[in-house]
Structure 1
Amino acid sequence: MYNNDVDRNTQGDAPLPDRVILLTGAERLPRDLSAFCAENEKDVCVIRYRVERVGDTNGVNGMNDADGDLCIVRSVQGCGLVPRGEERLPMRECCVTCAIKSDAERMVVGLGKAIRRCGVRSGVTFVVALPIGLQAFPIARYMEDCFAFADDIGSHGEVVPTPRVSSVVSTVDEVGLRACLFDDAPFSVRADGDGDVDEPIDDGRSVGEIQATLLREADRLLVVSVGSGETYVDCGLTWMEELIAQIRGGEDMSVERACDADWGVIAGGRYDADAEQQRLDALTLHAECGEASRVHEPVRLMCTSDGFESTMVHSARPIHPGRLSALLAGFGESGSAARVHIRGHFTVPTRPFSVFVWDGGPGGVSIEELDNADGDLPCMTVLQVVSENHTDIPLQLEWLLLTDEEMRVPAASWFDQTDEFTLWSVSGSR
């Protein structure tokens, strides 16, 4: 039974709101196959977006100019609508996210009204398939804000409920998830046009960072199997669910195969922007381990040749800035943290009114300083390491914690520190 049929039985003839599902993915095929499954569902309309770089007309398909302008390409399919082909939309000096969020909101409202004029009252599910690697969070929040202030009066004075965002759904390849999640290669969004032309659009983050971010922001995951090879062994979804829970800081998510997805059930949910923002913020990472103390108890899962390790370092003690400087320098020289996710937050004695957020993925380390003069932020060390294989990085992070002797050092004595991390935090530049 479709979710819309359930709504009809419970609400009679009352008009139902249109629902929006935002579909993301770090790889093209899983996203496209999931969108294809949605197209075949009743009362589902799929709006696809991709990005092209339009250069001069001398190259293949006019896309050889690396300095050409970006444009958004949109297509619509489903709900009995007559396909209009692709439409190219100029960026008008805004980013990809801003261009898509305003167009998607306008399309959902406009198409919803058009479909209702044809006599459909049951509510339409709009699946908005975003360009590869693009985050859904800012788009979902924008659409929710717009819908909150939308006019709910329809034609002939009929009250029509405003649309709502139901879910953010990410897609992955079951075979290639591990490789993608720990890939430290630079990520680039590639155009999905016809032919063999792939125009890279630099993002600045690694493939693994993009994949982890999309897993954290989603409330559902659809899995497809597009990989092949003799080394592939189907271990079911349990192993994948455990890995994703660790990437999400211990929080589970709904995982199912795209071919089995009930889009009516997904559309029946309600998007929670606050919960999504917490999952994306490394400052909210915590450990339920009672009294704060050093913790090094790896969580290991093995799936034939695949496996990973997750470890939490949780302590009330600050981190020694000098040893942190040495560790970061070692990461850069040896590349030992290249294929590791490290997230969390910590304090240092040289900056007593600051909290530092560590949010690093394969190929990159990002540490941000936050003002904690009011004492509202958590003043402890909570760092989580998720790696594709066993690593001694958690032990190195424990080595950063102040010793008993260092904990007894007068606070003023720390102001003589001249290590690189202290100099960076004082000057604000690296």
Structure 2
Amino acid sequence: MSDAPGSDRFQRHEGGRHSTPVAVVTAVDAVLRDALVASLLLDTAGAVALRYEVEARSSSLRRVIVAADGVVEDELVDLDHPCVSCAMREDAVPVLTRLAHLPAISAIVLAPPLSADPSIVVGTLRPHQDSWHLAAAASAVGLEAVRGDLLGEDTLAERGLQWAAGDSRSVGEALAAQIEYADLLVLDGDPAGPGAELVEHLRAPEQDLVVGPYSLDAGTLLGRRLDHLAGLRRRDARCVEPYGGPTQHGTWTLDLSSARPFHPRRLLENIEDLGAGRLRERGRFWVPDRPDSICQWDGAGGQVSIGAVWRAGRDLPTTRLVVTGIEAADAERVRAAFGRSLLTEREWADGLAPWLGVEDHLSPWLGERDARV
């Protein structure tokens, strides 16, 4: 492979040292992911794919190394703990290093198990870059299925896509993490259809789009440097922004914001109206009995996760939820529930003193008030 034309077109030399580009490709659809990986291998002389699959009957991973002309390695890997970070740290790092030192290999496409969160994959790999570097993160998205995958109620366990028995995530949660982190989205399907419209409402302007897994030029993916911090910012509830998009197929986005906090008891009363239905919701909120905490709101397909994640600074936090959906009635329900959950103007005018020492209604979800976030 080393003598093939163009085999070194993605190799980098920094400070006189060779560095092999590594692209991370994620998806929840095996057929789409494998089609994208195969296209990249055929388009890139000297490229190999490092693919991992979860073995459902054990805590092992199946590691497969594939070149354009066939399978190079196929082995089971036993892990101390069946988690993404362990798999990347214990096995992917040494394998990437081994492959990067082979002169015949010009580039590596890393395909972690379906449903993997790319921010965790990349965050684990970044400190170990040396003979290889992270070039890009791509998310492969099937447009015919994306509305059901993102906004439906299916869990990873129901689809056989969970990492381990304790992986209770929904398909929507996993796919949203992939779409929001990736710097490049590869779409398969009608670019003018309802699925593409939904993606437009969720993607940031700086994220590149390619339509068709066979249309992606390898140089677009392998000839860049992955901006991990930009990906994390897109996923950070403190930085959430409404991107909007076309509405021909009924997709809508609400930007709900207020300086006022949620009333803890009324939040619990309204949480179903706020979070139920075919929605993607991201944002932050605070409650008056813990003004030093910024709480995260993350919902997809009717599942909502909340938690006290960050310490507030010297200024009081703000409340902001960005909600995207496809059914008109949901928009009005969510908007009304948001308003009912906030402190009223009179309650807000009384300040925070009345909240000192009150019963903590949200401790089962946010932790104890004196716990560090």
2-side partners of 1:368 and 1:403: how far apart? 23
> Residue 214 of structure 1 aligns with which residue?
178
1-side partners of 2:246 and 2:219: how far apart? 36
> Residue 407 of structure 1 aligns with which residue?
348
Residues 425 and 98 (structure 1), Cα distance of their counterparts in 2 relative to 1, 3 Å cut:
closer
Select 1:261's aligned residue among 191, 216, 220. 216
Mapping of residues 331-346 of structure 1, within 5 Å? 331=273, 337-346=276-285
2-side partners of 1:324 and 1:268: how far apart? 47
2-side partners of 1:422 and 1:104: how far apart? 38
> Residue 72 of structure 1 aligns with which residue?
61
Select 1:379's aligned residue among 317, 326, 349. 317
> Residue 313 of structure 1 aligns with which residue?
256
Q: CA deviation at 1:283?
A: 2.2
Select 2:128's aligned residue among 132, 143, 146. 146
Is 1:137 paired with 2:76? no
> Residue 327 of structure 2 aligns with which residue?
389
Report the aligned-residue RMSD.
Answer: 3.4
C-alpha contact (below 8 Å) 2:275/2:302 kept by paired residues: no
The gaps in structure 1 that reach 5 residues or longer are 55-68, 151-161, 193-197, 226-233, 289-297
Matched to 1:260, the amino acid is: S
Is 1:170 paired with 2:139? yes
SS of 2:252's partner is strand
Identity of aligned residues (%): 25
Is 1:236 paired with 2:187? no
Residues 399 and 3 (structure 1), Cα distance of their counterparts in 2 relative to 1, 3 Å cut:
farther
2-side partners of 1:101 and 1:426: how far apart? 30
- So what's the TM-score if we normalise by structure 2? 0.83
Residues 199 and 246 (structure 1), Cα distance of their counterparts in 2 relative to 1, 3 Å cut:
closer
Q: CA deviation at 1:240?
A: 5.3
SS of 1:216's partner is helix
C-alpha contact (below 8 Å) 2:143/2:187 kept by paired residues: yes
2-side partners of 1:235 and 1:277: how far apart? 26
> Residue 301 of structure 1 aligns with which residue?
247
Is 1:20 paired with 2:22? yes
> Residue 48 of structure 2 aligns with which residue?
45
Is 1:365 paired with 2:311? no
C-alpha contact (below 8 Å) 1:25/1:172 kept by paired residues: yes
2-side partners of 1:199 and 1:140: how far apart? 17
Is 1:188 paired with 2:191? no
2-side partners of 1:90 and 1:423: how far apart? 35
1-side partners of 2:74 and 2:284: how far apart? 45
SS of 2:168's partner is strand
SS of 1:351's partner is coil
Q: CA deviation at 1:213?
A: 0.9
C-alpha contact (below 8 Å) 1:245/1:252 kept by paired residues: no
Q: CA deviation at 1:310?
A: 0.9
Mapping of residues 195-206 of structure 1, within 5 Å? 203-206=167-170
The gaps in structure 2 that reach 5 residues or longer are none
C-alpha contact (below 8 Å) 1:357/1:369 kept by paired residues: yes
Matched to 1:323, the amino acid is: R
Deviations 1:262-317 (A, max 9, x none): 112210110111111112221222469xxxxxxxxx866223xxx32110112222
Select 2:268's aligned residue among 325, 329, 335. 325
Q: CA deviation at 1:85?
A: 4.5
Matched to 1:352, the amino acid is: P
> Residue 91 of structure 1 aligns with which residue?
79
Larger Rg: 1
C-alpha contact (below 8 Å) 1:244/1:252 kept by paired residues: no
SS of 2:256's partner is strand
Q: CA deviation at 1:105?
A: 2.1
Residues 318 and 190 (structure 1), Cα distance of their counterparts in 2 relative to 1, 3 Å cut:
closer
SS of 1:246's partner is helix
> Residue 35 of structure 1 aligns with which residue?
37
Is 1:420 paired with 2:358? no
Q: Which moved more, 1:27-36 or 1:335-344?
A: 335-344
> Residue 289 of structure 2 aligns with which residue?
350
